[in-house]
Amino acid sequence: MKEHFFIFLLLTFGLTQAQNVATKTTPDNCACIDYRCSSSDKKPIAKITLDSRELIFCGYSGKATKYQGNYGILRSDSTFLLSGFALIDCSNKKSIFSEGEYYTDSVKLTSNGFELYRIIWLPNPNGGEYLPVPALKFKIQNVQDRLTVDTLLTIPKSFYSSSYLNQIKKNLDVLRKDKEKKMSADDLEFQYLFLRALNDTDYRQDFEDNAPRDGYMGKTYRDYQRYLEIKERQ
Protein backbone atom coordinates (compact mmCIF):
# COMPACT_ATOMS: atom_id res chain seq x y z
CA MET A 1 0.00 0.00 0.00
CA LYS A 2 3.04 2.31 -0.30
CA GLU A 3 1.64 3.73 -3.53
CA HIS A 4 -1.52 4.88 -1.75
CA PHE A 5 0.55 6.67 0.87
CA PHE A 6 2.75 8.30 -1.79
CA ILE A 7 -0.26 9.57 -3.74
CA PHE A 8 -1.82 10.91 -0.56
CA LEU A 9 1.36 12.80 0.34
CA LEU A 10 1.81 14.12 -3.19
CA LEU A 11 -1.74 15.43 -3.49
CA THR A 12 -1.85 16.76 0.04
CA PHE A 13 1.41 18.65 -0.51
CA GLY A 14 0.25 19.95 -3.87
CA LEU A 15 -3.13 21.01 -2.54
CA THR A 16 -2.23 22.46 0.83
CA GLN A 17 1.38 23.04 1.70
CA ALA A 18 2.69 25.58 -0.78
CA GLN A 19 2.77 29.23 0.16
CA ASN A 20 0.23 31.54 -1.52
CA VAL A 21 1.57 34.02 -4.06
CA ALA A 22 -0.07 36.94 -5.83
CA THR A 23 -2.29 36.24 -8.83
CA LYS A 24 -0.50 36.85 -12.11
CA THR A 25 -1.58 39.98 -13.92
CA THR A 26 -2.94 39.89 -17.46
CA PRO A 27 -3.49 42.49 -20.19
CA ASP A 28 -6.82 44.34 -20.26
CA ASN A 29 -7.90 42.33 -23.30
CA CYS A 30 -7.40 39.10 -21.39
CA ALA A 31 -9.74 39.41 -18.44
CA CYS A 32 -12.37 37.25 -16.81
CA ILE A 33 -15.86 37.37 -18.29
CA ASP A 34 -19.34 37.01 -16.83
CA TYR A 35 -19.94 33.33 -17.34
CA ARG A 36 -20.51 30.15 -15.38
CA CYS A 37 -18.41 30.47 -12.20
CA SER A 38 -16.52 33.40 -13.76
CA SER A 39 -17.04 37.08 -13.03
CA SER A 40 -15.70 40.15 -14.81
CA ASP A 41 -15.22 41.69 -11.35
CA LYS A 42 -12.59 39.10 -10.46
CA LYS A 43 -8.97 38.86 -11.55
CA PRO A 44 -7.79 35.69 -13.32
CA ILE A 45 -6.36 32.97 -11.11
CA ALA A 46 -3.62 32.23 -13.61
CA LYS A 47 -2.63 32.82 -17.22
CA ILE A 48 -1.01 30.30 -19.55
CA THR A 49 0.15 30.15 -23.15
CA LEU A 50 -0.76 27.05 -25.13
CA ASP A 51 0.84 26.98 -28.59
CA SER A 52 0.72 30.80 -28.77
CA ARG A 53 -2.91 30.83 -27.52
CA GLU A 54 -3.38 32.80 -24.33
CA LEU A 55 -5.77 31.24 -21.82
CA ILE A 56 -6.82 32.28 -18.32
CA PHE A 57 -8.42 30.41 -15.42
CA CYS A 58 -11.28 32.30 -13.79
CA GLY A 59 -13.38 31.04 -10.92
CA TYR A 60 -14.34 30.95 -7.29
CA SER A 61 -11.92 31.50 -4.46
CA GLY A 62 -12.34 30.50 -0.85
CA LYS A 63 -11.69 27.87 1.78
CA ALA A 64 -11.26 24.29 0.64
CA THR A 65 -13.35 21.71 2.46
CA LYS A 66 -10.96 18.78 2.56
CA TYR A 67 -7.67 20.56 3.18
CA GLN A 68 -6.12 23.61 4.78
CA GLY A 69 -5.45 25.25 1.42
CA ASN A 70 -7.68 27.60 -0.58
CA TYR A 71 -9.54 27.42 -3.87
CA GLY A 72 -8.55 29.81 -6.63
CA ILE A 73 -5.16 30.82 -5.22
CA LEU A 74 -2.04 30.36 -7.34
CA ARG A 75 0.77 29.13 -5.11
CA SER A 76 4.53 29.32 -5.30
CA ASP A 77 4.77 25.74 -6.62
CA SER A 78 2.57 26.72 -9.61
CA THR A 79 -0.41 24.67 -8.43
CA PHE A 80 -3.92 25.68 -7.42
CA LEU A 81 -7.23 24.10 -6.50
CA LEU A 82 -10.43 24.83 -8.39
CA SER A 83 -14.05 24.44 -7.37
CA GLY A 84 -16.20 26.18 -9.94
CA PHE A 85 -14.22 27.70 -12.80
CA ALA A 86 -14.04 28.59 -16.48
CA LEU A 87 -11.03 28.37 -18.79
CA ILE A 88 -11.22 31.43 -21.05
CA ASP A 89 -9.67 31.78 -24.52
CA CYS A 90 -8.33 35.34 -24.65
CA SER A 91 -8.53 35.48 -28.46
CA ASN A 92 -12.34 35.47 -28.46
CA LYS A 93 -13.18 35.89 -24.76
CA LYS A 94 -15.13 32.62 -24.69
CA SER A 95 -15.03 29.71 -22.30
CA ILE A 96 -13.59 26.50 -23.75
CA PHE A 97 -14.04 24.44 -20.58
CA SER A 98 -15.92 24.97 -17.33
CA GLU A 99 -17.11 23.07 -14.29
CA GLY A 100 -19.45 23.83 -11.39
CA GLU A 101 -18.43 24.00 -7.75
CA TYR A 102 -19.57 20.43 -7.10
CA TYR A 103 -16.16 19.14 -8.20
CA THR A 104 -12.62 19.65 -6.96
CA ASP A 105 -9.93 19.99 -9.60
CA SER A 106 -6.18 20.43 -9.28
CA VAL A 107 -4.06 22.37 -11.77
CA LYS A 108 -0.31 22.28 -12.20
CA LEU A 109 1.22 24.91 -14.48
CA THR A 110 4.02 23.52 -16.64
CA SER A 111 6.61 24.91 -19.08
CA ASN A 112 4.40 23.99 -22.05
CA GLY A 113 0.94 24.59 -20.61
CA PHE A 114 -0.78 22.92 -17.67
CA GLU A 115 -2.10 19.65 -16.23
CA LEU A 116 -5.72 19.56 -15.05
CA TYR A 117 -6.96 16.70 -12.86
CA ARG A 118 -10.34 15.85 -11.33
CA ILE A 119 -9.86 14.79 -7.70
CA ILE A 120 -12.07 12.19 -6.03
CA TRP A 121 -11.84 10.49 -2.64
CA LEU A 122 -11.51 6.71 -2.43
CA PRO A 123 -11.43 4.37 0.59
CA ASN A 124 -8.25 4.04 2.58
CA PRO A 125 -7.56 0.28 2.85
CA ASN A 126 -6.24 0.94 6.35
CA GLY A 127 -9.48 2.62 7.37
CA GLY A 128 -9.91 6.22 8.42
CA GLU A 129 -10.22 9.20 6.11
CA TYR A 130 -10.69 8.58 2.40
CA LEU A 131 -7.69 9.35 0.18
CA PRO A 132 -7.56 12.05 -2.55
CA VAL A 133 -6.97 10.44 -5.92
CA PRO A 134 -6.63 11.92 -9.44
CA ALA A 135 -9.56 10.33 -11.29
CA LEU A 136 -9.51 12.16 -14.61
CA LYS A 137 -6.99 14.12 -16.63
CA PHE A 138 -8.33 16.75 -19.00
CA LYS A 139 -5.98 17.09 -21.94
CA ILE A 140 -6.53 20.38 -23.77
CA GLN A 141 -4.74 20.71 -27.10
CA ASN A 142 -4.55 23.17 -29.96
CA VAL A 143 -5.40 21.14 -33.07
CA GLN A 144 -5.40 23.05 -36.35
CA ASP A 145 -6.02 26.30 -34.47
CA ARG A 146 -8.94 24.72 -32.61
CA LEU A 147 -8.85 23.90 -28.93
CA THR A 148 -10.01 20.37 -28.10
CA VAL A 149 -10.55 18.59 -24.78
CA ASP A 150 -9.80 14.89 -24.29
CA THR A 151 -10.58 13.06 -21.04
CA LEU A 152 -8.42 10.24 -19.70
CA LEU A 153 -9.00 8.01 -16.68
CA THR A 154 -6.10 8.29 -14.24
CA ILE A 155 -7.21 6.32 -11.17
CA PRO A 156 -4.10 4.29 -10.21
CA LYS A 157 -4.56 0.56 -10.74
CA SER A 158 -3.58 -0.07 -7.14
CA PHE A 159 -6.97 1.38 -6.14
CA TYR A 160 -8.82 -1.40 -7.92
CA SER A 161 -6.35 -4.27 -7.64
CA SER A 162 -7.49 -7.61 -6.23
CA SER A 163 -5.52 -7.13 -3.00
CA TYR A 164 -7.00 -3.66 -2.47
CA LEU A 165 -10.54 -4.88 -3.15
CA ASN A 166 -10.11 -7.82 -0.78
CA GLN A 167 -9.10 -5.46 2.03
CA ILE A 168 -12.01 -3.10 1.32
CA LYS A 169 -14.39 -6.06 1.40
CA LYS A 170 -13.01 -7.08 4.82
CA ASN A 171 -13.49 -3.53 6.09
CA LEU A 172 -17.03 -3.56 4.72
CA ASP A 173 -17.87 -6.82 6.49
CA VAL A 174 -16.70 -5.29 9.79
CA LEU A 175 -18.82 -2.16 9.28
CA ARG A 176 -21.91 -4.20 8.44
CA LYS A 177 -21.77 -5.76 11.91
CA ASP A 178 -22.24 -2.36 13.53
CA LYS A 179 -25.80 -1.10 12.98
CA GLU A 180 -24.78 2.42 14.01
CA LYS A 181 -22.42 2.60 11.04
CA LYS A 182 -24.95 1.73 8.35
CA MET A 183 -24.38 4.97 6.42
CA SER A 184 -20.62 4.43 6.40
CA ALA A 185 -21.12 0.84 5.30
CA ASP A 186 -23.48 1.87 2.49
CA ASP A 187 -20.96 4.42 1.23
CA LEU A 188 -18.09 1.95 1.38
CA GLU A 189 -20.14 -0.70 -0.45
CA PHE A 190 -20.90 1.85 -3.16
CA GLN A 191 -17.19 2.51 -3.61
CA TYR A 192 -16.46 -1.21 -3.57
CA LEU A 193 -19.01 -1.97 -6.31
CA PHE A 194 -17.55 0.76 -8.51
CA LEU A 195 -13.91 -0.23 -8.01
CA ARG A 196 -14.69 -3.91 -8.57
CA ALA A 197 -16.36 -3.01 -11.89
CA LEU A 198 -13.29 -0.95 -12.74
CA ASN A 199 -11.15 -4.02 -12.08
CA ASP A 200 -13.35 -6.44 -14.04
CA THR A 201 -16.00 -5.44 -16.59
CA ASP A 202 -17.93 -8.63 -15.75
CA TYR A 203 -19.05 -6.80 -12.60
CA ARG A 204 -20.31 -3.74 -14.48
CA GLN A 205 -23.90 -4.97 -14.42
CA ASP A 206 -23.68 -5.72 -10.72
CA PHE A 207 -22.66 -2.10 -10.15
CA GLU A 208 -25.56 -0.89 -12.31
CA ASP A 209 -28.07 -3.08 -10.45
CA ASN A 210 -26.97 -2.41 -6.89
CA ALA A 211 -25.33 1.01 -6.67
CA PRO A 212 -27.53 3.72 -5.10
CA ARG A 213 -28.94 6.31 -7.50
CA ASP A 214 -30.81 8.60 -5.15
CA GLY A 215 -29.80 11.40 -2.83
CA TYR A 216 -26.25 12.66 -2.67
CA MET A 217 -24.95 9.41 -4.17
CA GLY A 218 -26.95 9.88 -7.36
CA LYS A 219 -24.52 12.41 -8.83
CA THR A 220 -21.54 10.28 -7.88
CA TYR A 221 -23.22 7.23 -9.42
CA ARG A 222 -23.51 9.02 -12.77
CA ASP A 223 -19.89 10.16 -12.52
CA TYR A 224 -18.79 6.59 -11.86
CA GLN A 225 -20.75 5.41 -14.88
CA ARG A 226 -18.81 7.91 -16.95
CA TYR A 227 -15.48 6.75 -15.51
CA LEU A 228 -16.28 3.15 -16.43
CA GLU A 229 -17.17 4.21 -19.95
CA ILE A 230 -13.94 6.15 -20.32
CA LYS A 231 -11.90 3.17 -19.12
CA GLU A 232 -13.58 0.91 -21.66
CA ARG A 233 -12.63 3.32 -24.44
CA GLN A 234 -8.99 3.71 -23.39
Residues 88, 95: Cα–Cα separation, whole Å: 4
Estimate the share of the chain in helix, then strand, then coil, as percent rounded to the nearest 5: 35, 30, 35
Residues 162, 179: Cα–Cα separation, whole Å: 27
Tell me the pLDDT tens digit for each residue of 106-129: 999 988 789 999 999 999 999 888
Confidence (pLDDT) at 111: 82
Tell me the pLDDT tens digit for each residue of 19-59: 333 334 444 579 999 998 999 999 999 999 888 889 999 99
Confidence (pLDDT) at 65: 62
Confidence (pLDDT) at 213: 84
Decide: 14 and 134 in contact? Cβ < 8 Å.
Answer: no
Low-confidence stretches of the chain (pLDDT < 50) are 1-27, 68
For residue 106, report the phi and psi dihedrals to the nearest 5 degrees. -125, 130
